[in-house]
């Protein structure tokens, strides 16, 4: 059975090559290179199980063995590259117990070492691409930019056996097959969204999610920070938003919020892993928590009670009140100051309690405010109803016509079609957690869609990328979040990074199966969908 499976995998495997024109060309990976080994074997896995699937793989001869004396060397020895090297060292140290010193690379030959180097001549690799060369004598990652080096190290992690992800030392040897990977992403925006408003998740939980995102080369974490049920980020000029509005959650739980210091720490942690945090302050709807905190924000001056149900579309900021814009300006200013990335998300979805004409005026003012604080506005697709500045970004979730309307205005679109990309939809009708309003989405459904052909009128050049949102009405703990997010999020990561050619559900499911032991080693409570041929379960 195992042999039959390997054969099948080999037959279905296809890599892609960076051709002279940049068009991917198919390359076959020879037998023996494809299959992941069992969790107990110390044999290194092949190149065939890497997710997201790389642009080009050329297997070589022999294997590299990481020695206890190996160093990780960087050129140039900048703070940024040292940080990338330290992150790799930190990961490899846990499972190997080796010292793995981080040092500068000055000469050229460092037998047995892992060398990370940026090279001016490698513009072809872009902002995030890399070339990883593994030979018996050593490992080199080359990139044009530090992000590329980081992604090269994430690929390297996947080339060690799954036990490399363990949190305590396991016996060696720690080997990697020789070969070359040349890789770069299809889309610039490869995201996940976590709703910390319906249920709140603390900084350490979110950091763990960032770690997992980075391993699969996701680079945007959209945090849905405010909603009817809770306001989760401290705003110094409006302190009751969290002292009152942060005090509950769906189901009436205790809620919680990030202080600005905690939030800044999370943003810096993500940034070190090349993940840009995109903060969302949802408005004018989804604002009950804010209105409950400040009666003066309501049109009638009466604060509604805190809300812990799961209805949507019943709250609205008071569009006609000038104080509303002072509020928005204060909040956006404080959030922008905590945001090194270029984007501030203003929600704009499901504003059913807002007059449609007033909505358009409101959004245009909000866009002005976001721009005045030096940021680009991101909004859910409903924001395409208003006139958008060329730098604004629209996130498609349900209404194809609105996505097309955004493109008609020259805006770029983030693709999050609910029936494919929503991580809070149940896998099957039997799934305990999740909702079903957009249908059920098993692992296969979540993988078999393409961002450039999903919506008529929205083509490859209009698409900034892909994002998988997780709304947290039904997820009380981070283990619940992981159950819904994994393994579907891994498929979205591949859709965002890998070329369309050379991959299919038929071969992807085998690659995904090899990630079961890796996820388990990281303590991830993933959903073991029967659609995936998991081994050793």
Residues that bind ligand TNX (CB under 6 A): 312, 349-350, 380, 397, 422, 424, 435, 471, 473
Burial of 412 (0-12, 13-18, 19+ CB in 10 A): buried
CA gap 379, 224 in Å, rounded: 12
At 5, give phi and psi (nearest 5°): -65, -45
Residues 6+ apart with CB under 8 A from 98: 66, 67, 68, 70, 92
Nearer to ligand TNX, 7 or 401 (CB): 401
Q: How far is the CB of 416 from ligand TNX (least distance, A)?
A: 8
Q: How far is the CB of 205 from ligand TNX (least distance, A)?
A: 19
Q: How many C-beta atoms surround the C-beta of residue 522 within 10 A?
A: 18
3-state helix, strand, coil in the chain (%, to 5): 35, 20, 45
CA gap 535, 537 in Å, rounded: 6
Nearer to ligand TNX, 19 or 356 (CB): 356
Nearer to ligand TNX, 58 or 435 (CB): 435
Find out whether 50 and 116 touch, Cβ atoms under 8 Å: no
Tokens of 518: 């890796």
Q: How far is the CB of 468 from ligand TNX (least distance, A)?
A: 12
CA gap 373, 163 in Å, rounded: 46
Nearer to ligand TNX, 132 or 484 (CB): 484
Q: How far is the CB of 481 from ligand TNX (least distance, A)?
A: 14
Nearer to ligand TNX, 189 or 397 (CB): 397
Nearer to ligand TNX, 400 or 435 (CB): 435
- Using DSSP bridges, classify how beta strands 56-66 and 174-183 pair: parallel, antiparallel or unpaired: antiparallel
Let me know the angle formed at the C-alpha of 42 by 11 and 49, rounded to the nearest 5 degrees: 30
Nearer to ligand TNX, 465 or 499 (CB): 465
Q: How far is the CB of 300 from ligand TNX (least distance, A)?
A: 24
Distances, alpha carbon 463 to alpha carbons 211, 382, 393, 410, 457, in Å: 25, 17, 10, 11, 11
Q: How far is the CB of 443 from ligand TNX (least distance, A)?
A: 18
Nearer to ligand TNX, 47 or 359 (CB): 359
- H or E stretch including 359? helix 356-372
Q: How far is the CB of 282 from ligand TNX (least distance, A)?
A: 8
Spatial CA neighbour of 286 closest among 380, 368, 357, 358: 380
Q: How far is the CB of 132 from ligand TNX (least distance, A)?
A: 37
CA gap 279, 341 in Å, rounded: 10
Catalytic one among 36, 56, 350, 381?
Answer: 350
Among this protein's residues, is 350 annotated catalytic?
A: yes
Spatial CA neighbour of 398 closest among 410, 380, 411, 371: 380
| Gyration radius of the chain's alpha carbons | 24
Length of the chain: 537
List the alpha helices (DSSP H) in 117-259.
Answer: 146-159, 203-215, 240-243
Query: Would you call 314 helix, strand, or coil by DSSP?
Result: coil
At 404, give phi and psi (nearest 5°): -65, -35
- H or E stretch including 398? none
Which of the residues are catalytic? 350
């Amino acid at each position: 059975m195992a042999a039959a499976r390997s054969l099948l995998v080999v037959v279905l495997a296809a890599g892609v090559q960076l051709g002279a024109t940049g068009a991917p060309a198919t390359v076959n990976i020879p037998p023996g290179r494809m299959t992941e080994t069992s969790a107990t074997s110390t044999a290194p896995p092949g190149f065939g199980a890497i997710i997201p699937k790389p642009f080009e793989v050329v297997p070589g001869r022999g294997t590299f063995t990481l020695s206890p004396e190996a160093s990780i060397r960087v050129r140039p020895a900048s703070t940024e590259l040292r940080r990338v090297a330290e992150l790799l060292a930190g990961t490899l140290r846990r499972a190997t117990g080796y010292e793995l010193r981080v040092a500068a690379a000055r000469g050229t030959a460092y037998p047995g070492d892992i060398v990370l180097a940026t090279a001016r001549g490698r513009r072809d690799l872009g902002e995030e691409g890399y070339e990883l060369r593994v030979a018996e004598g050593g490992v080199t990652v080359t990139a044009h930019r530090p992000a590329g080096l980081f992604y090269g190290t994430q690929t390297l992690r996947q080339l060690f056996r799954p036990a490399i992800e363990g949190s305590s030392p396991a016996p060696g040897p720690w080997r990697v097959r020789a070969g070359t990977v040349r890789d770069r992403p299809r889309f610039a925006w490869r995201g996940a969204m976590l709703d910390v408003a319906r249920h709140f998740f603390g900084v350490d939980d979110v950091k763990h999610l960032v770690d997992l995102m980075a391993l699969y080369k996701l680079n945007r974490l959209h945090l849905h920070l405010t909603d009817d049920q809770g306001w989760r980020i401290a705003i110094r000029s409006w302190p009751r938003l969290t002292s009152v509005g942060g005090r509950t959650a769906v189901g009436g739980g205790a809620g919680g919020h990030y202080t600005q210091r905690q939030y800044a720490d999370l943003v810096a942690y993500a940034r070190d892993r090349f993940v840009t945090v995109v903060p969302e302050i949802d408005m004018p709807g989804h604002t009950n928590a804010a209105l409950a905190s400040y009666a003066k924000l309501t049109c009638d001056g009466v604060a509604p009670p805190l809300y812990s149900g799961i209805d949507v579309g019943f709250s609205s900021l008071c569009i006609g009140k000038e104080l509303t814009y002072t509020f928005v300006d204060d909040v956006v200013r404080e959030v922008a100051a905590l945001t090194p990335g270029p984007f501030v998300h203003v929600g704009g979805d499901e504003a059913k309690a807002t007059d449609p004409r007033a909505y358009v005026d409101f959004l245009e003012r909000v866009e002005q405010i976001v721009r005045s604080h030096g940021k680009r506005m991101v909004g859910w697709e409903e924001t395409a109803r208003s006139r958008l500045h060329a730098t604004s970004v629209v996130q498609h979730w349900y209404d194809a016509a609105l996505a097309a309307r955004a493109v008609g205005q020259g805006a770029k679109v983030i693709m999050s079609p609910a029936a494919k990309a929503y991580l809070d939809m149940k896998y099957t009708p039997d799934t305990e957690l999740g909702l079903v309003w957009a249908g059920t989405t098993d692992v296969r459904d979540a993988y078999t869609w393409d961002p450039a052909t999903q919506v008529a009128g929205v083509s490859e050049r209009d698409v900034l990328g892909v994002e998988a949102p997780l709304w947290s009405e039904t997820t009380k703990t981070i283990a619940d979040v992981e159950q819904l997010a994994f393994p579907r999020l891994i498929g979205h990561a591949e859709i965002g990074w890998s070329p369309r050619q050379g991959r299919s559900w038929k071969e992807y499911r085998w690659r995904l199966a090899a990630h079961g032991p890796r996820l388990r080693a990281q303590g991830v409570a993933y959903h073991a969908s029967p659609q995936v041929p998991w081994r050793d379960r």
